[in-house]
Amino acid sequence: MSTIPTVTLNNGAVIPQLGFGVWQVPDAEAAPAVGAAIEAGYRSIDTASVYENETGTGTAIAGSGVAREELFVTTKLWNSGTVDWSGRQGRDAVLRAFDDSLAKLRLDHVDLYLIHWPRPMHGTFGNVWKAFEELAADGRARSVGVSNFGPQQLEVLLQESAVVPVLNQVELHPYFPQLELRAFHDEHGIATEAWSPLGQGGALLGEPVLARIAEKHGRTPAQVVLRWHLQSGVIAIPKSVTPARIKENIDVAGFELDADDLTGIAGIGNGGRIGPDPQAFDWN
C-alpha cells in the first residue's frame, strides 16, 4: 500500500494529500468505486450534495471495515435553490442541507464541509458561514472550508469572520496552476486542494513533455501529474471508476520529480480552465 503524505490544516486537523473524488460518478457506481479506493489505500473521500452520490459513498464507507477515525470524509453545500444568501434564512437552510448529507452518508460527522460555489454577485455570506461556524463548534463538521472561491470572495469572508477556511478546493492542474490564488492561500494559511487534478485526462495527459518525464521515471503521465501536485504542496483528489486506475493514481511514492521535470511541467501552463469560471456564475 502506498504511503500518502499529509497536510496539517490551520485548525490542526490532518488531511491526506491524495484523496479520492467522486464527481460525475453515478450513485449506483459510487459504492464499488469508493470501496475499491478504500481497499487500495485511499483514506480521504470527497463527495458533494449536488453529485447525488452521497448514499453510495456512505454505503462504501459503512462496508469498508476501516475504522471511522482513519477516514477523512468531505462533502459540500450546494447553495442554488437551497440557501437564502440574504441572511434571513441562511443558517437554517444550511443546517437542513447538512443534516440531509449526513443522513445519506450514514455518519455522525464529516471531517470537512465546504461551501461548494460562491455567489460573487451577492457580495456577502450572510448567515451561511455562521452556520458553518456552528457546525465546526459542535464537532459535526470537524473542519470547514470553501470551494471555487477567488481572492475577492475570500477577502469578504475573512473580513466577516474570524474563522478562516481550512482550505479552498479549486480547479488546478498543470494547464491551470493557479499561482496567484495559491500565493493568496499561503499568505492566509489556507490549504489548496485541486479538483480535476489530472485536467480530466485528454489533452493534458497526452502532452509530450509529460510522456518524456513519465518514461524517464518508469511511470505514467497521470502519476507524474499527481506527483507534481504533491511536490507543489497541493492536495489532490483524482477520480476514477476503474480499479486498475484507482490503484495507479495512488501509487505515486518512490520517485521524485527533479528541477528539470518541474521546469518542463511549468512550461505547459497555458491558463486553460476546463470548468466554468466561478466568478461568472450565479447558480440561482
Work out the angle between the directed axes of helices 27-40 and 54-63 (0-180°, nearest 10): 40
Give residue 251's identity as a one-letter amino acid code: D
Q: Per 3-state DSSP, what percentage of the chain is helix, strand, and coil (rounded to 5)? A: 40, 15, 45
Q: Which of 42, 51, 113, 175 is catalytic?
A: 51
Q: How far apart are CA 160 and CA 146, in angstroms?
A: 14
Give residue 41's identity as a one-letter amino acid code: G
Give whole-number Cα distances, 266 to 150, 169, 176, 195, 234, in Å. Answer: 22, 21, 10, 19, 15
Contacts of 189 (CB under 8 A, 6+ apart): 10, 164
Q: For Cα atoms 108, 109, 113, give the angle at the middle one, nearest 5 degrees.
A: 145
Q: How far apart are CA 147 and CA 79, in angstroms?
A: 12
Task: Judge whether 42 counts as a catalytic residue.
Answer: no
Q: For Cα atoms 145, 109, 74, give the angle at the middle one, nearest 5 degrees.
A: 40
Cell of 233: 504542496
Work out the angle between the directed axes of helices 179-188 and 151-160 (0-180°, nearest 10): 20
Q: How far apart are CA 105 and CA 73, in angstroms?
A: 9
Among all residues, which ones are annotated catalytic?
51
